[in-house]
Amino acid sequence: MICYRCSHCCYWFMVTIVKEEYFDKIKTENDLTMDAVEIKEERVWCKYLINNLGKFVCTIHHYSWFKFTPCYQFTQMEENKDSPCRIGEWYRGEGIKYYDDFLLNKWREHNETKING
């Protein structure tokens, strides 16, 4: 699946993410062991997702090992690995007017909780 980096999965889904201390240790798929990953719970912001002027960006997509991760391997019944993500397509099109505001509000709530305890 071709990910559009819309951040839907990064917030809503429980996903397996790579621990920071393993970033420089992963060279092959075999290096992505259970010790190298941790679980990000559903409805919790992925720690690698940043708000860049109102657009949400994954900060680990550029690593060469990213193609070995569950995030990269994730699919939603697309025809093949080169099919675009259907959720991402919707968010980039018709859904953008709803989703951007929703995400920004959730991001603000998240940061207020962190600041105000």
In this structure, is residue 57 part of a structural domain? yes
- Select from 84, 81, 4, 69 the least CA-distant residue to 37: 69
Instruction: Read off the DSSP letter of residue 2.
Output: B
Q: Residue 84 has what pLDDT?
A: 80
Range of the domain at 88: 8-116
For residue range 46-105, what is the model confidence (pLDDT) as tens digits? Answer: 889 887 776 778 888 889 888 888 777 776 666 777 788 877 777 777 766 666 666 777
In this structure, is residue 3 part of a structural domain? no
pTM: 0.67
In this structure, is residue 110 part of a structural domain? yes
Q: Spell out the residues 6+ positions from residue 52 whose beta carbon is closer than 8 angstroms to its own.
A: none
Angle 36-59-32 from CA coordinates, rounded to 5°: 20
Cβ(26)–Cβ(77) below 8 Å: no
Number of domains in the chain: 1
In this structure, is residue 46 part of a structural domain? yes
For range 27-45, the mean pLDDT: 90
In this structure, is residue 55 part of a structural domain? yes
> Has residue 117 got a pLDDT over 60?
no
For range 26-51, the mean pLDDT: 89
Neighbours of 11 (CB within 10 A): 21
